[in-house]
Structure 1
Amino acid sequence: MRCTLLTLSAAALLGGCAAGHQPVNYAGAAWMPEQQYAATPGACSRAPTALPDIPTAHLSAPVGLLLAPGDRVRIEVLGDADRISGTYVIGDDGHLRLPSLGRIGAAGLSQADVEAQLRQMLVAQRLVQPLTNAVRFSVLESTGVSVAVSGAVFNPGTVRTGDRAPEDRVGQSEGAANGDANAARSVTTALRAAGGVRPDANIQQIGLVRQDRMMVIDLRPSHDGTATGDVLLAPGDRLIVPSTGCFDPYLVRPSLVTQPGIRVHMSNLTRPANNNAGAAIGERTGSLPYGTRFLQGLVAMNCVGGSAMNSGRRAVLISRNPMSGQSVVVEREVEELVRHANRDAFDPYLMPGDALACYDSRWMNLSDAIGMVTGAAGALTPAILLQDTVAN
C-alpha cells in the first residue's frame, strides 16, 4: 500500500515539474520587435494616423504667453491712483471686471492686446488723454491652464499644466512684480502630464489646436537635444499626437516629451524567497528609469544570479499594446538573456504598468517535488505501521 501511495504522489508531483506552455498572444498583439524572437527590426504593427483636417496656422515666431482665467494682473492709469488702477484677477469666464468700465475680455489675448483695448475704452470715455503711456497693463502672476491631450500618449485626457505651489507663487511676499514667466505652461509639460508620448508617436507633427486653427509643431529637435524651443499654451488648447504605427526605440528614454521614470509590478517567489519581501522587492523597487529593459528589471527584482541549480529560471513579462489595447505576454529564459550576445534583439523595453514575474528552474522544482515526496513518505510510515499492527 505504501509503495502505491508513494508512486502516485511522486508521479503527480514530478509531473508538475514540467515546463508550462509558452504564452500565446493574438496575431499582431506584439508591437515592439523585441517582444518576438524572429521580428523584423523597424517593422510597423499598425497603420499611421494623421492629424485632423483643420486649417493650419504657421508659427513664424514663438508664441508668447496668452492670458488665462486666474491670472493676476495690474492696471495703471496715468493720473489715477485707485479708481481704476489696481490689481485684478481674470475671472472664470475669462473677463476682467473694472469699476466704471464693466467687463473686459482678457482670456486668450496677449498682454498688448488687453492694454490696447483698455486704452481705447478709456479714451472713448474721455477718462484719459490719447497718450502712448496713458495705460499700463502687466501680468503679475500667470496661473495654470487645462488642455486636452489625445493620440499617441500613455494617458490621454484633460490635464493641468502650469499650476504653482503656494511657495512658488510670485508677487505675494515680495509685493507687486512686473512681468511673469511660467515655463511650465507649455506643450512639453502637457505631454508629460499626459504620461508622455508613446514610442509610436510622431513628434515631428504634433497638432496644437487653438480656436479654429491648428499649428503643427516639430518637437524632434527638443527631444534630440539639437535645438531648444517650446510653445506656451492658452486656455482651451488641444494637443493631438499622431501615431507612426511603428515602435521607435529612440523615444524610449527620459526627455522633454517623455516621463523620467515608470512604475512596474513585480513578483519574485523563487527560492530561497517565498514572498516579495524575502526577495527584497520593496515599494521603490518597481520604480525604474524610462528605457529600462526586461533583463534590467529582472536584476532589480533579484531574479538573476544565485545558486547554479536555479540558474535555469524563467521570467514572464506581462504588457499591453497601447495601439490595440491587447495584452502581450512574453516568456524568456533568464540565463539566455544574460549569456547571449544578441540579447538586445529579444530583450523588450518595459512600459508603464508592465508586470514581471520570476519562476524557479526545473531543477529547483524537481528538488522541491522530491522533498515533498520524501516528506509524504515520512508522514505515511507511522500510519502504515499502525495499520499493520492492528491487522496482526
Structure 2
Amino acid sequence: MHKAHYRTRTMAWIVTAAMTLSGCQSAPTPENRDGALWMPQQWEADAYQRQCTPAMSPPPPAGKTYVPAAQMRAEPASLAPGDRLRVDVLGDPGDLSKLYVIDELGRLALPGLPVIDTTGRSVAEVEARLSDRLVEAQLVRRLPRVAAVSLVERAGISISVRGAVFNAGTVRIGERPAESRVGQRDGPVAGDANLGRNLSMAIMAAAGARPDANLGDVRVIRGDQWTTVDLAGLVEGSGADDLRLAPGDRVEVPSTHCFDAALVRPTPVTPPGVRVFMSNLSRPAASNATSAIGKESTSLPYGTRLLQGLVSANCVGGSAMNAHRHAVLISTNPFDDTTVVIDRDVEDMLERPDRDRINPYLMPGDALACYDSRWMNVRDAVSMVGEALGPAATVILIHDASP
C-alpha cells in the first residue's frame, strides 16, 4: 500500500511539473506601440475598426511651374547617355559619317570638332547644333541640312522615385541586354521606341506601389516644371495615359496614409509577387527542411493572405492534438518603418465566419513563424521531465520489485 501511494505521488509530481513547464500559451503575446498597426486586418476581431480618412494631396513642389501632362507628353524625347546616333555629313567620304554613342556626361564627340552637350536636347536640336559646328569649322558650306542625325537606339536612364513605393531611391529603367540592341540585331535602322522608359516602369523598378499609394495623383518633376499623371486606370483596367520619362526626371507617389485592398494584387504598377520568410519548427516537423519550406513556398503571389501563407508553411492541418497552433506575423509599418508583430490562433481563424477581418495581407519582406499547441507543449514537457527523472524512475521500479 505504501509503495502504490509513493508511485502515485511521484507520477502526480511529474505531471504537475510538466504542466508548469508547458505554460498556458505556446506563442508569445506581442505588444505593439500605439499607431503601429496600419492594416485593418492587423487588429483583433473585437477591436474597434476605425475608419481611415485619406490624406490631402501634398503641396506643389517649391519653385516649380505646373504644366498639363499633355504638354509634357508632347515634348520631344530628350537624349540620354548611352543613346546611339547615326550621323551623316553632306559630302563626307566616311570620316565623320558613322554611328556614335553619347558618353556618360551626355556629350556627342565627333573627330576634330568641339563636343556637343546633348543634355535635355532632342535629336533635332542636336542636328542643328552639329550643323552650326561644321559650318564654323569651315568643313561644309551653309546649306539646308548639311548634317543628318538619326536615332538608332535609346539606352536606359536613371530616375529618382520616392513616396508610397516599396523601395524608394534611384532606379534604372529601359536597360537592354547587349544581344538585343537594335543596330546589332537588325542592321542599320533609324528610330527606336524604348517602352521601358515610361512612368509605370519607373514605379515597378522601385518594387511597385504600396497599398497606400495615391495613383491618381502621381507627380513627375522635370527641370523647373512639374505635372500630375493619373495611373489609377492601370489598376482598374480602364486604361491610362502613361508618360515617357526623360533623364533626370523625379517621380513622387503620394500616400493617402490609408490601406487600400484594391491595390494588393498584381497590376502594371504593383508587385507581381512577394518574398516571405517562414519558420515552421512545430511538430511533427522538426526543421524547415522537413516542413518543405523552399523558394517556391516562400515566393507568393501579391495579394496572398496570412492563412494562405500558413498553408504554404505547412502550419495548417495535422493531428487534432496539435490543433490551435499559434502563428506570428512580423511585418513593417511603411509609414514609419516600425516593426509590427501579430499573433493569431490558426484554428480560430479557420473556424470563424469573419476571418477576413483578422486575416492580414502579406507584404514584401514579411516573416511567419508557427508555434505548437498547448498540448504538444505538455507532451514535450512530460518527455523532458521523464528523461530527467529516468534514473529516479529506475530506482522506484527496483524498490517496488524488492520484497
Q: Look up the match of 2:239.
A: 227
Mapping for residues 81-230 of structure 1, pairs under 5 Å: 81-122=93-134, 127-131=140-144, 133-230=145-242
Query: 2:341 is matched by which residue type in structure 1?
Result: V
Contact map agreement 1:266 1:301 (CA 8 A) in 2: yes
Structure 1 Cα separation of the partners of residues 311 and 150 of structure 2: 55
Write out per-residue CA displacement over residues 29-54 of structure 1, whole angstroms, 9 at most, x where no aligned residue.
Answer: 00010101234365259887555333
Q: Look up the SS of the partner of 2:184 in the other structure.
A: coil
Write out per-residue CA displacement over residues 88-128 of structure 1, whole angstroms, 9 at most, x where no aligned residue.
Answer: 11111111112343111213222222223333444566614
Q: Look up the match of 1:40.
A: 49
Write out per-residue CA displacement over residues 37-83 of structure 1, whole angstroms, 9 at most, x where no aligned residue.
Answer: 23436525988755533322222253553210111111112332323
Q: Look up the match of 2:37.
A: 30
Residues 121 and 45 (structure 1 numbering): CA distance in 2 closer, same or farther, change over 3 Å? closer
2:91 to 79, 82, 93: 79
If the length of structure 2 is used for normalisation, what is the TM-score? 0.88
Structure 2 Cα separation of the partners of residues 255 and 64 of structure 1: 29
Q: Look up the SS of the partner of 2:364 in the other structure.
A: coil
Contact map agreement 1:291 1:350 (CA 8 A) in 2: yes
Give the C-alpha shift of residue 24 in structure 1: 0.9
Structure 1 Cα separation of the partners of residues 56 and 305 of structure 2: 26
Which structure 1 segments of 5+ residues have no match? none
Give the C-alpha shift of residue 242 in structure 1: 1.5
Give the C-alpha shift of residue 358 in structure 1: 1.0
Q: Look up the match of 1:279.
A: 291
Root mean square deviation, CA, Å: 2.7
Identical-pair percentage: 47
Write out per-residue CA displacement over residues 307-350 of structure 1, whole angstroms, 9 at most, x where no aligned residue.
Answer: 12222111110101010111111111112222222211111011
Give the C-alpha shift of residue 388 in structure 1: 10
Contact map agreement 2:130 2:147 (CA 8 A) in 1: yes
Structure 2 Cα separation of the partners of residues 212 and 42 of structure 1: 38
Matched, 1:243 2:255: yes
Q: Look up the SS of the partner of 2:296 in the other structure.
A: coil
Structure 2 Cα separation of the partners of residues 48 and 8 of structure 1: 66
Q: Look up the match of 2:61.
A: 52
Contact map agreement 1:153 1:241 (CA 8 A) in 2: yes
Q: Look up the match of 1:315.
A: 327
Query: 1:149 is matched by which residue type in structure 2?
Result: V
1:11 to 9, 13, 16: 16
Give the C-alpha shift of residue 291 in structure 1: 1.0
Query: 1:130 is matched by which residue type in structure 2?
Result: L
Q: Quick check: 289-298 or 52-61, which moved more?
A: 52-61
Contact map agreement 1:42 1:247 (CA 8 A) in 2: no
Q: Look up the SS of the partner of 1:172 in the other structure.
A: helix
Structure 2 Cα separation of the partners of residues 45 and 223 of structure 1: 18
Q: Look up the match of 2:3.
A: none
Runs of 4+ in 1 over 6 A off after TM superposition: 1-5, 45-48, 385-389
Give the C-alpha shift of residue 134 in structure 1: 3.9
Contact map agreement 1:66 1:111 (CA 8 A) in 2: yes
Query: 2:330 is matched by which residue type in structure 1?
Result: I
Query: 1:35 is matched by which residue type in structure 2?
Result: Q
Q: Look up the match of 2:344.
A: 332
Query: 1:328 is matched by which residue type in structure 2?
Result: V
Query: 2:363 is matched by which residue type in structure 1?
Result: M
Residues 75 and 81 (structure 1 numbering): CA distance in 2 closer, same or farther, change over 3 Å? same
Give the C-alpha shift of residue 355 in structure 1: 0.4
Structure 1 Cα separation of the partners of residues 290 and 309 of structure 2: 17
Residues 51 and 348 (structure 1 numbering): CA distance in 2 closer, same or farther, change over 3 Å? farther
Give the C-alpha shift of residue 189 in structure 1: 1.5
Q: Look up the SS of the partner of 1:119 in the other structure.
A: helix
Q: Quick check: 100-109 or 182-191, which moved more?
A: 100-109
Residues 110 and 8 (structure 1 numbering): CA distance in 2 closer, same or farther, change over 3 Å? farther
Q: Quick check: 330-339 or 37-46, which moved more?
A: 37-46
Structure 1 Cα separation of the partners of residues 329 and 56 of structure 2: 25
Give the total of aligned pairs.
Answer: 390
Structure 2 Cα separation of the partners of residues 128 and 255 of structure 1: 55
Structure 2 Cα separation of the partners of residues 48 and 361 of structure 1: 48
Give the C-alpha shift of residue 288 in structure 1: 0.7
Structure 1 Cα separation of the partners of residues 54 and 313 of structure 2: 31
Give the C-alpha shift of residue 277 in structure 1: 0.8
Q: Look up the SS of the partner of 2:152 in the other structure.
A: strand
